[in-house]
Structure 1
Amino acid sequence: MALHPGVSRPPANVLAVLREVAERLPERPALIAPHPGGGSRAITFRRLTNRIDRVAAGLRRLGLLPGEHAIVMVPMSIELYVALLAVLQVGAVAVFVDPWIGARQIAAFAASVAPRAWIGVPKSHLLRLLEPALRAIPWSVTTGRRLAGLPARRTLAELEAEPGDGVLHPATPEEPALITFTSGSSGEPKGANRTHGFLRAQQRALAAEFPAAPEDVDMPMFPVFSLNNLAVGVTSVLPDMDLRRVDRVEAGTVLRQMTAHGVTTCTASPPFFDRLAAHLATAPGEAPRLRRLLTGGAPVSDAQLCAWRTAFPDTEILVAYGSTEAEPVAHLTAEERLAAVHTGRPEAPGYCAGRPVERLQARLLRIHDGPVELGEDGWAAWEAAPGEIGELVVAGEHV
């Protein structure tokens, strides 16, 4: 692994972990994705790191420098991870925006980070025609063909046609790696900044709380879990669905995909599992042999858990709680959640979220205005009473 001249310390760059996996498991499939024309296509860990290295070298030749920002607008696919991880290999910062956000709002986001590159599917470049600020981004790459009138200087295939150089920006734990922008209810840009140190800490936390077996094949609906799978050498099968319309997922298609590729674990939102359970209620013979389901991102009702348990009677079902800034925070099994309703306080609002994970420090504070100022009693004066609604505060390396 080549580092920048004069650098001798071990790199904090998350790509270093992927390269170690590729050396250990070169021929294991890293990603299996639906093919636009039907069927599927796969890429091994060795081939993935090779493609990333070629694209990273191409981005450097274009002029992208460490610390600069690159907007990435590619749906969940092999190309997404090639582009994203190439940006990180350069030492630049990948910027994501919600795919349903319009050009004007994207321009507002861009104004706050001054991106130097735009990497996206051909349709994403059409957005740049609508906003002068987006057209002014210096370096642009399309994952498809370069169409007439499309403001894209290079294609991903052109970058890959040139050899890679193996150079990995070492990065420090404090250097930004990913920024995710959402619009929120106010319409103002809301960015979540993940550093290289945070991503590696999150990978360690996820691996500790939801350990993978050597033979596992995972279907992750959330891109962050695909990154974790790459870090631990687990094959990811990307679901054949439109992530913007989870409530309309073709359950039969996804279930057949699971069976065809030997999926053993699945991480997805509650509506995703609702669709699978509803389908299996009328076609139980189509159920794949899964050992674990992991869900989060939205509240889960007792009725949902019972429906999932009926659909997957022999599968461990875990409900995780967390946020963009801290994931995971807590989790529990479906059985623990259902039992908590009967042994706790059934009239209490909300749902049981489980116990905080070991790598976090957590306290429930009484609701208050202003900052917390600790006195002689420390946290005791601020903590909520048992059964009282409060504010959860957490600390840890993946926060």
Structure 2
Amino acid sequence: MTQTDITNIATHLPRMAKLQPDTTAIIFPKGNQRLTFQELDRLSDRICHGLIHSGITRGTRTVLMVTPSPEFFVLTFALFKVGAVPVLIDPGLGIKNLKSCLAEAKPSAFIGIPKAQVARLLFGWAKDSLKTIITVGPRLFWGGITLDKLIQQSPDQPFEMAITAADDQAAILFTSGSTGPPKGAVYSHGNFSAQVMALKQVYKIQLGEIDLPTFPLFALFAPALGMTAVIPEMDFTRPGSVDPQKIISAITSHKVTTMFGSPALINRVGRYGAEQGIKLPTLQRVISAGAPVPAVVLERFSQMLGFGVEIFTPYGATESLPVCSIGSREILGETRVITENGGGVCIGRPVDSIRVELIRISDEPITVWDDDLRVAPGQVGEIVVQGPQVTRGYFQRPEADLLSKISAPSGGFFHRMGDLGRQDSRGRLWFCGRKTHRVESVHGPLFTIPVEAVFNTHPAVYRSALVGIGPKGSQQPVICIELEQGISTSQEQLRSELLNIAASHPHTREISTILFHPAFPVDIRHNAKIFREKLAVWAAEELA
């Protein structure tokens, strides 16, 4: 292996520690905890020695259940440095999903806070495969060693980082499970490195910037990009319930230049900012992902930003990010009108490193790529992607690989995003919803995003969701409506007004059934992806 073949995502940290040793790498406003790049690098090196001594070495699958904290950062970089494979799962997936994910991953090590350790014992998580237990906090009755003890017993010396290639496993990241059982996407060191490079190029991120990441995994990109990460005081499993004052205080106090937030968080903070007339002059860019961001939410949040500052909405998934990106200026000035008339949500142009194709909609496996799979220009098809940030497969899920990967005759593969979209004459992609959420009625297919956008134009509607009742091919389309808070208009009047709106568009005029739901079930990761499968069950019961 030559020097140019060596790729370890952790190499970014020592490089930044040399470039700006005394610059703060992470700030935790709660408790006013700080670590410089040099301190973060040295502490992670020290932990590396302890991990090796504890049996966590190259290739060791290691569950990491630690809340966003200094320990979360140093442990993650230490695991990458030793060549271990962190297994990262959202705790909000639910006990049943967590148990099945961990049984599937078969980890040899478990690093967690006491609460996670108790849950591990109570529910028997990975009990047959675990050999090493490390607790971040006090150790009680479950054995193993505490992180503090591990650090005390380890030498404060540089650590020789594991030599890993671009294709070597770096981590297993489980999907949110918003459209089926969570699956473990296997990340290589090359995937992570390509993500860092793409984010830097697309958003023109500079050394020394200040980042406010409100999603733990995005927080790890900040030190790799040479940014100071300010970790806000919030419940990361409930971004839609965040305290806006704490987010705004963190931005103003630390002169944050970049912010990442889910659409639910952007909506909540934007509403508060509009009510209070707040301005955030230090922000140079805002990034929001996880689900389409309504134009009204972008418009509201933009009022807090300086002239020319945009909110970017990258498109991607756990398996591939970023794929495309678009800024709020283009959305509010041009694409919004098309979206509201049912043209889909514009997600921008593909980033330089990604190839995007649109293929015929099918629920069946496609083993080998063929150019004849492509749909005609402007037609809605399934989005497939190819590029260095695209993960090769899922951990121990050959059936999922079969459905999501297409071999390319010239080498490599395409990943089927499971999303539907179309491409316009200017090369921009327009997202039309998940493939599994399409409704197949007697009048033809209906796609969620173009249909819902029409109903979302009513000022009383917070969000809507299209679901289908009955067998494919003869499904009854039903629109579920979640109203804005404080709406006093009768449901019958609203139903009449919504049906009138639907009648004015060719793709919604056949929809005649509207149901009102108090609060849509949404994903735990971003509080923004609607669980349409659950809504479909509810709608069927309501109409029975």
Shift of 1:350: 2.1
- The answer to whether structure 1 residue 157 and structure 2 residue 148 are counterparts is yes
Instruction: Point out where structure 1 has 5 or more consecutive residues left out of the alignment.
Output: 1-6
Work out which of the residue numbers 104, 114, 121 in structure 2 matches 1:112.
Answer: 104
Gap change, CA 1:8 and 1:326, over 3 Å in 2: closer
Partner residue, 1:88? 80
Cα root mean square deviation, aligned = 2.2
RCO higher in 1 or 2 (8 Å CA, sep ≥ 6)?
A: 1
Aligned to 1:360: 354
Alignment partners' CA distance in 2, 1:342 and 1:300: 11
SS at match of 1:353: strand
Cα deviation, residue 266, structure 1: 0.6
Compute the displacement of 1:346 (Å): 5.5
Cα deviation for residue 297 of structure 1 reads: 1.0
Q: Which moved more, 1:247-256 or 1:155-164?
A: 155-164
Contact 2:240 2:268 in 1 (8 A): yes
Counterpart of 1:265 (choices 258, 263, 282) is 258
Residue in 1 aligned with 2:418? Answer: none
Does residue 25 (structure 1) correspond to residue 25 (structure 2)? The answer is: no
- Aligned with residue 40 of structure 1, among 19, 32, 35: 32
- Alpha carbons of structure 1 residues 220 and 47: separation in structure 2 relative to 1, 3 Å: same
SS of the residue corresponding to residue 234 of structure 2 reads coil
Answer with 310-319 or 251-260: which moved more: 310-319
Partner of 1:276: 269
Structure 2 CA distance, aligned partners of 1:346 and 1:258?
Answer: 32
Whole-Å separation in 2 of the counterparts to 1:145 and 1:242 = 22
Shift of residue 31, structure 1, vs aligned partner: 0.7
Q: Which amino acid aligns with 1:393?
A: V
TM-score (norm 1): 0.89
Deviation at 1:385, TM superposition (A): 2.7
Amino acid of the structure 2 residue aligned with 1:395: Q
Question: Which whole-Å CA distance do the structure 2 matches of 1:336 and 1:342 have between them?
Answer: 8
Checking the alignment, whether the CA contact within 8 Å between 2:310 and 2:329 is kept in structure 1 is no
- CA offsets per residue over residues 203-226 of structure 1, 9 Å max, x none? 111111112134421111233432
Indicate if the aligned counterparts of 2:251 and 2:280 stay in contact, CA closer than 8 A: no
Pick the structure with greater CA Rg: 2
Question: Match for 1:71 among 63, 70, 80?
Answer: 63
Q: Residues 179 and 370 from structure 1, CA distance in 2 versus in 1: closer, same or farther, beyond 3 angstroms? A: closer
Opposite residue 128 of structure 1, the aligned amino acid is R
The equivalent of 1:341 in structure 2 is 335
TM-score (norm 2): 0.66
SS in structure 2 opposite 1:328?
A: strand
Per-residue Cα deviation, 1:146-201 (whole angstroms, up to 9, x for no partner): 13x2x141111111112145121111111111112246268745111111111111
Tell me how far 1:104 sits from its aligned partner: 4.8
Q: Which amino acid aligns with 2:314?
A: A
Alignment CA distance shift 1:185-1:236 (3 Å): closer
Identity of aligned residues (%): 33
CA shift, 1:9, in A, is: 3.6
Residue 98 in 1 paired to residue 90 in 2? yes
Match of 2:285 in 1: 292
Alignment: residue pair count: 384
Q: Which residue is 1:3 aligned to?
A: none
CA distance in 1: counterparts of 2:366 and 2:240, whole angstroms:
40
**Higher deviation after alignment, 294-303 or 9-18:** 9-18
Q: How far 1:60 moved relative to its partner?
A: 0.7
> What CA distance in whole angstroms lies between the structure 1 residues aligned with 2:94 and 2:338?
46
For residues 272 and 332 of structure 2, what CA distance do their matches in structure 1 show?
Answer: 23
| 1:387 aligned residue | 378
C-alpha offsets along residues 74-118 of structure 1, whole Å, 9 cap, x if unaligned? 122221111111111111100011112445543322222221111
Aligned twin of 2:199 = 206
Task: Specify which of 247, 252, 260 is matched with residue 254 of structure 1.
Answer: 247
Structure 2 unaligned runs (5+)? 391-544
Deviations 1:363-385 (A, max 9, x none): 1223234417556xxx2x33223
Judged with a 3 Å threshold, the aligned counterparts in structure 2 of structure 1 residues 131 and 18 are, in CA distance, closer, same or farther, namely: same
Equivalent position amino acid for 1:166 in 2:
F
Deviating more after overlay: 212-221 vs 12-21: 212-221
Q: Which residue of 9, 20, 26 corresponds with 1:14?
A: 9
- Equivalent residue, structure 2, for 1:139: 132
CA displacement 1:116-141 (0-9 Å, x = unmatched): 11101110000122144544521111
